[in-house]
Structure formats: C-alpha cells, structure tokens
Amino acid sequence: MLSERYRVDELIGRGGMASVYRGQDLTLGRQVAIKILKRELADDSAFRTRFRLEAQSASRMSHPAIVRVYDAGEDSETDGDGTTHQVPYIVMELVEGTLLKDIVSDGGVPVSDAIRYVDGILEALAYSHRAGVVHRDIKPGNVMVTAAGQVKVMDFGIARAVSDSSSTVAETTAIIGTAAYLSPEQAKGEPVDARADLYSAGIVLYELLTGRQPFRGESPVAVAYQHVSETPLPPSELVDAIPRSVDAVALRALAKDPFQRYQDAASFRQALDATLDGHAPTKKQVGALASELYGANPRQAAETARSLRQLTADTTMRRTQAGPPAAWIWAGVAVLAVVLISVLIWVMTSRPGGAIPQNSRVVDDVVEMSWDRASEKLAAQDLQAKRVDQSDNQVAEGNVIRTEPIGGTIVAPGQTITVYVSTGQQRSAVPSLVGLSSTQAEAALKAAGLQLGAVTTRSNPDLAPGIVISADQTAGGQVSVGTRVNLTVASGKVALVNLVGYTVDAATRELSSESLKLTPKVVEDPSCPATSGTRIVAGQSLPPGDVPIHSTVELRVCSGT
C-alpha cells in the first residue's frame, strides 16, 4: 500500500528510472498504473522535490494522446536493519496496449503506419508545448499504442526532473537510459526547448521507417558525438520502398541546428501529411537539402557507406601476397585490349545499313504523344493502331503510356501496334464511414482502394469508443485511389468538471447537459452537517477529468445536524 490509498499489484514494466505496477485506487475504485522510482533517485532530496513539481505540472494536461497523471506523492519504507527511506511515486492512467519499442523491435513498419504513429506523437507534443511542458525524452519506450490504434505518450516532465537534478550530461544520459534519441543540444548539455522533442520525434520516425536508429555506436558518448557531428543517411538509402518525400521530412527533423528544424509540432505534422499527396522531390533535391542541413555530400557518404558494407560482408576474398606481379598486370591489359578491339569490329560489321527494306517498318516512338497524333504517325507507316485505355498516375489523360511492340522495333507493314492510352489517375468513391467502428472504417477504405490516415479522438456523449464521428473526405466523393482519409472518432469519454461547491440543481443540470449526458445521483451524507438553505455538493464519486460516457455520478450532499 502507498499512502493508505493505492494498492500495488503485479509488476507490468521496468525501466532505467522506475518500475511500473498495476494498482488500484481504493478511494475512487479504479485501476491505475503506479510508477515507483528507484532508490538511488529517491535518496536525492533535490530530485524528489523537482520530480513532485514536474509531476504536478504534467497532471494538469488532459489530452487523448497523453497518458494522464492522476497523482504524485511520497511514502516511506523501512528496511530490515531499521533504515527508513522515501518512496516517491506517481499514479497514472492505466493504458492497455503495446509499447512502440516492441512494435519496432522486429524491424521497420510500413510507411503509412510510421507516419500515423509519429503523427500521434506530434499531436501530443503540440498540446504539451502549448502548455509549456517539454518532454525531453521522446523515444519508442515512452509511447504506447492501444488496441484501437490510439497513440499515447507518457512520462511528461520526468526527464526534466532527472536532468535538472543531475550534475553532468553523462549522468543524465545514464539515468534516462539511452543516448539514441538525444538532440544535439542535449548531448552538448545546452538549454533545450520544444525543438529538442521534435528532433527526438524525427529519430523515432527514422527508426520506424528503417528498423534502426540513424546513429549507433559502442557507447552513449560515441552516439552523442554522432548526434552533434555526423550526417544521417536518407531513409530510402536503407529501404528502397521509402518515398523521397519522407526522406526530406526526416532530414529536416534531424537538423543539427534547432533553427533549421521544424519550429513546432504543427509544422512537422503538416510536412508529414504533405508526403501523402504523391509529390516526391528528386534524389538531387534530397541531396541538396542534406547539404544545406549538414554541410556534407550525402551521395558520397551513402556510396562510401555502401562500399564499406559490401567489403565488410564479403568473406570470400583473401589476399595471399602484397600485390600482383607486374607480368600479370600487363597480361591483363593485353587481354582487355583484345576484347575491346574484337567488340568494336563486331559492332562495325554487324551494323545494319541506313535503308530499311521495303517490306519492313520501324515503329515510331509515340510515348506521351496524344492518341490522335500517335495513331496518325503509325498510320503513316502502314501500321494499325489498337487503343487500350489504362489508368496511370504519371502520364496525362489521353496521352500514350507505352506501345507493344515498343518504339524502334522492326515490324512488317500492316502489323497491329497496341497503344496504351492513359485515362488519368484512377479514382474511387469514398465510402460512408460515419457511424462505423474504426476497424470497420479501415476495412471499407481498403475495399475502396483508399488508406486510413490520421485518427483523431474527440468527446461525444452518445458514441462508444472508436465510432467514426466524421471524415475529411465527403462520402460518395471521387478521389484518387490510394488517398489517405483522416478520421475523427469518439473517445468514449466526456470531460467532467469539479462540481464541489455547486448547488445540487446546478450540478444536476451540468451533468444532464447535451455535452455530457451523464446521470446524476444525489447521495445524502449524514456524517457532515447540512448547509442551511441551498443544498451544496460536498463531493462527487468520479474525479474531474475524462470519464466514460453514460456514467452515473454520485453527488454527495451533507445532511447531518
């Protein structure tokens, strides 16, 4: 038991700073998660003070993408030798789900999932930064994903409590548990702001895409050095399926200079959303961006790294002498010269004459010409053009995608040439999604050739958790196949205010309002004296904050003498 209120049950997680237990709040009758700090931290009185203040600051934040902090306090524990020491703890919302670090432990995830997870992290950071709270320790181990796909970020403020109570950067890093997600300014021990969180979110995006962090080393110091001075490879250099539009976002997020990064979480989210519109920068543009941000040639770095990987992986070659004999070198040069001369002679003698025989035609290259122009050119060659319509995202509607046989092929007069003509980008009707569960909505989108985009939760007193309230595309509207549709779904909860001090009538009206639709229940409490005249609410069964829809809230009213 902690503070004669919280029962500590089984262990559900352990980290570098604390252990987390499933617990029960016996006063309010709800399950909670209880984080108990390790003894080496608990023995530091300065840390305990900072930890309590930061936990109180975090407890004021209420957002669907943030794990709620309900309470923070201290208890004491006596060892077998009679020594008493403090036990700082925090009480948090119990979230059923999977840590993001477990999701990414088997390698990278699909690009759409990576963007969705990071979008959820940025949604939480946008809220916390507006509240003046910088997380300082964004990493997959501090992010939960619920069964419904909701991203929840935890441990706000704790990293600041650690860093402000630690004497050195190395000590802070050891306590936090990893240097892999530190921003360059954190690695150098400089003051940090919200942009440090965005850098760490960029590291998480990189890891989700590629299955590895951009900087790895044998020690935390080596990794910290790379954060400060090394250029990361674009993610597409590691995974071919990653679009270069995502490369540009990741490189911008990982800029060494905070002023070259995204300046707020909203800008980062907008850039991620923009990667879904199908427009991708060229490899040259990505390289120019990397040069601007890191002052190095990313192509040369990539080629060097690739060559080193190939040489490292090749275990079949063994050098048996310092170098080849000079005779071998000259013999090799002679053989190469003979081969080149032979090829040149073959090319010269086998080259066809300039004139095409009367009974042959060379198919003109009509790719990207209009159908009318292409059919005219082929007809002028005594060739029959057969039109086949086909959707294509790159070639304009009405223009030729390709021909069979291809341009330059020699054919007989009168042969049929199949001409594939673009009908433009393939389109699909947006299905009706409102009222479906998030799982049903995702299945309906997939059946229509569309993708599930960002999922945002919102309070609705009438809808169960995960039910779609709205979509950013109109049902029945025609959109391009592959378009991501963002959904707003019900959280299954409403925000209850503190009703203590309200009159019973006012509290009842508030609970029964259209925005809450909760059930009030007045409970007489003879243990405290009744107020004269107007009846006042002295307590409520559910604490202020998010509560399940259709809940019954007991209003305690003093009725004693």
CB 46 within 8 A of CB 165: yes
Taken in order 436, 439, 444, 445, is the CA torsion positive or negative?
positive
207 closest CA partner among 239, 230, 176: 239
The dihedral through the CA atoms of 102, 105, 106, 107 has a sign that is: positive
Note the Cα 445 to chain centre separation in Å. 21
Given the structure tokens 């009846």, which residue do they identify? 535
Set 25, 137, 155, 197: catalytic member: 137
* Contact indicator for 368, 400 with CB cutoff of 8 Å: yes
273 labelled catalytic: no
Question: CA 362, 363, 367, 369: dihedral to nearest 10 degrees?
Answer: 100
Q: Are 438 and 491 in contact (CB under 8 A)?
A: no
Q: Identify any residues that bridge with 503 across adjacent strands, giving them in sequence order.
A: 536
Nearest Cα neighbor of 483 from 440, 438, 427, 422 is: 427
Rounded Cα distance, 537 and 539, in Å: 6
Kindly list the distances between the CA atom of residue 67 and the CA atoms of 62, 93, 146, 464, in Å, as whole numbers in the listed order.
8, 6, 11, 20
C-beta neighbour count of 248 within 10 angstroms: 20
What is the spatial distance between Cα 403 and Cα 397, in angstroms, rounded to a whole number? Answer: 16
Give the 3-state DSSP-derived string for 292-354, with helices as H, strands as E and coil as C. Answer: HHHCCCHHHHHHHHHHHHHHHHCCCCCCCCCCCCHHHHHHHHHHHHHHHHHHHHHHHHHCCCC
Q: How far is CA 147 from CA 30, 68, 78, 139, in A?
A: 20, 18, 40, 20
Looking at residue 460, what DSSP letter applies? -
Provide the strand spans (E) within 15-83: 18-25, 30-37, 69-78
Residues belonging to the active site: 137
